Structure formats: structure tokens, C-alpha cells
Amino acid sequence: MGIVAVGYFVEFYRPPRVLAGQVRDVRFTMGDLVDRIRVLQGINRYQGGRVDLSTVPFEYLQDMIQAEILRQAAPGLGFSVTEENIDEELRRRFRPQPPEGQQVDEGQLDQEYDNALTNFLTTTKLSEDEYRRLVEEEILRSQLSVVIDSNIPSPLEQVEVEWIRMEQDGAADPQQVRERLIREDFGLVAAEVNVPDGFTDSQGYVGWVPQQAFPELDDTIFGNPDRNRAPIAEGEISDPLFTQEGVYIVHMLSGPEERKLRGFEDLIGLGSSEIEALTSEDRESLTRELRIRSKLAQQRVDQWFDDQVSRGSDEGWLKIKFDSDLYAWVADQVHLSAPRVPQGGPPVGGPGFP
């Protein structure tokens, strides 16, 4: 009996109470991590997907840690989330938005809002408190992005590039593509083999890019003295660059220039007549700049979190548990949980999601 009791303690009682992570006086146990993943599991199945545990539960723990770091840091950064902010976001997601000018029954819209929210919570089996906390985290991240975006300096040193992106296990052979570029037009080759990444046009043109927006390409297009790397020269085409996002071949069109990188404030500042006067080329250019600025801001957000984790670890106010056996236990517990939503639920972007 003693051996059985010890086995029960080790297998079922101890793991949920073991520390998974801690941010100052806020502790997360392995049981908390299971609950967190189950919450995401419910939401993802509602969207028609599922939580991918092949990426290891540690990544979900990182999300919990980051959310708590930001929650504690927000007042010092000059922003916070109130209950009214959360209510407003919930109404945006669930309350019907009638066409402008249409007469509406506010009471009827409120009733539809209550019904939609209740149905969502019932379907995903989330409590309202659980969902409100997730919404709070999303608002905080959005506010952090705004703060970081507002601190992007202007002008910025930028280079003009075009590139071809290929999948690492794709049909195109990167070295053969590079050899073709010796004798063929870059745009024509790009039109044939480029796998879109959201930043190129049909012929691979990207535009003006600042440093840090695409960190894995920085050494090639901006150089890195610490690694004794010089940037590719104007007019030069790089060798294939293997990154986490794919294999890139970059063509340097113009060397470094100090340029403004327009953002959404510039778009908001345009009057309706100015917007109507924009040519299709102007619109494409502005769209490219907005995407690249958004990418740069996101990279800086990621760097902010990395810096916080590093500082917290050095100063002792942050702890993260690395234990593959306990993570395996977490994955097992999530697999054992019953499916929360039948497959074929509402699509991504349905009620409850931005």
C-alpha cells in the first residue's frame, strides 16, 4: 500500500502543485498551466482549430509569464486596463453593429449582446472571469505595442530591397534560383518562385526596410561589425539565407538613407480628400510602410519581453521551471480533457475574437 500511495502522490497529487513559474509574488503551478492550456483549447476548438502540444507546454508557460510581467509593468509604462475598457472590448466583439443612420432598438442590441456572449462562454466552457482576463491581456499587449510604436525614431536609416522567399522544404532549389538570377531578371524569377510573406509584391519588391524589422536578415543588408560582416553592396544579390521564416535571396536596390517610416498616425492625419487623391502607387507604398512599421514594432515588443525576462532572471524576481517530465505530465492532462467544442465551430474572426 505504501508504494501505491507514493506512486499516487508522485503521479497525481504533486505535479499540479509544483512551481511552474513566478513573477515577484505571483506564482504559477503546473496545475495553473494545465488550466491555461485548457482555456486556450476551448477557444481554439471554437475557432475550428486545436492547441498544438507538439510545441511543448513551455511555450504556453512563457505566455503566462509574459502576461504577468506586462500586467505588473503597465502602470510604470503609463497605461492600465480598467473594467470599463474590458466591457467596451466585449461590446465591440459581441454587440451587433447596425449600419450608420439606421434606427435601432438599443435594448434589443443589448439583449443580442448578452445572448452572444453567454453562448460563446457556454460553447467554450469558459467562465466570464477567465475570458475577461484573456481580454485584459490582449488589451495590455495592444497598449504596449502603441507605446513602443510611438517611440520608433524618425527618420530611420533604411535600405531599399527586393527579395525572393522560398520554403526550406519547397520545390524550388535555393542555389539553382540564385544561379538563375545571374542571367535572368529578378522580378521575373520572383514572380515564378517567390512564396509571399506579406511584404513583397508579385515581383518580389519590398521597399524601404529599417534595421531590426527582419532581424535574421540584418547582418546581410546592414552588416554587423561584431561578426565582421559587411552589408551586401548596392545592386548585389545575396546568397541564399536560411532563416526560421524560410530561405531568402535579397537584392539590394539602394543603400542606407535616413527616411521617415510612416505609421497609422500619418494615415489618420490624412483628410478624406487627400485619401481620395492618392494614386494606386501611393496606396501600395503606404500599405507597405504600414506593414513594415508594424513588423518593426512587433520585433521591439518581442525584444522588450526578452529584456524583461533576462533582467528578472538576473535580479531574482522571475523564476521559470524547466522540467521535461512535468511538461509531459501537463501534456497528458490536456490530452485527457474532453473536447470542449465539436469540430466545425464558428470560423476565426467570429464572435469573441478581434
pLDDT of 129: 95
Q: Distance between CA 24 and CA 71 in Å, rounded? A: 12
Q: Which three cell numbers stand for residue 182?
A: 545571374
Q: Distance between CA 349 and CA 354 in Å, rounded? A: 6
pLDDT of 188: 98
CATH classification of 156-260 is 1.10.10.10, yes or no? no
Q: Which three cell numbers stand for residue 28?
A: 504559477
Greatest CA separation found in the chain?
A: 83
pLDDT of 329: 87
269-302 in b/e form (b: 16+ CB < 10 A) is eeeeeeeeeeeeeeeeebebbbebbebbbebbbe
Query: Cell 515588443 maps to which residue?
Result: 301
pLDDT of 121: 94
pLDDT of 51: 65
Q: Which three cell numbers stand for residue 157?
A: 536609416
Contact 331, 61 (CB under 8 A): no
pLDDT of 5: 41
Q: Which three cell numbers stand for residue 63?
A: 505566455
Q: How far is CA 220 from the centre of its chain?
A: 24
Question: Residue 40: which residues within 8 A CB-CB, separation 6 or more?
Answer: 51, 60
Q: What is the pLDDT along the chain (354 residues), one digit of tens a residue?
A: 444 444 433 444 457 889 999 999 999 999 999 988 888 888 877 776 666 666 668 888 999 999 999 999 999 999 999 999 999 999 999 999 988 878 888 999 999 999 999 999 998 889 999 999 999 999 999 999 999 999 999 999 999 999 999 999 999 999 999 999 999 999 999 999 999 999 999 999 999 999 999 999 999 999 999 999 999 999 999 999 999 999 999 999 999 999 999 988 888 888 888 888 888 888 888 899 999 999 999 999 999 999 999 999 999 999 998 788 888 888 888 877 644 444 445 444 455 555
Cis peptide preceding 240, ω within 30 of 0: no
Give me the sign of the Cα torsion angle 256, 259, 263, 267: negative
Cα dihedral 60, 134, 335, 8, rounded to 10, equals 80
Residue 335 has a CB neighbour count (10 Å cut-off) of 8
Q: Distance between CA 265 and CA 22 in Å, rounded? A: 38
Q: Which three cell numbers stand for residue 244?
A: 526560421
Region of 48 (left: φ > 0; alpha: ψ -120 to 50; beta: rest) is left
Q: Which three cell numbers stand for residue 331?
A: 501534456
Domain ranges of the chain: 2-149+320-336, 156-260
Q: How far is CA 73 from the centre of its chain?
A: 20
- Is 260 strand, coil or helix? coil
56-66 in b/e form (b: 16+ CB < 10 A) is ebbebbeebbb
Report helix angle 58-77 to 30-46, nearest 10: 90
Bridge partner list, 164: 249
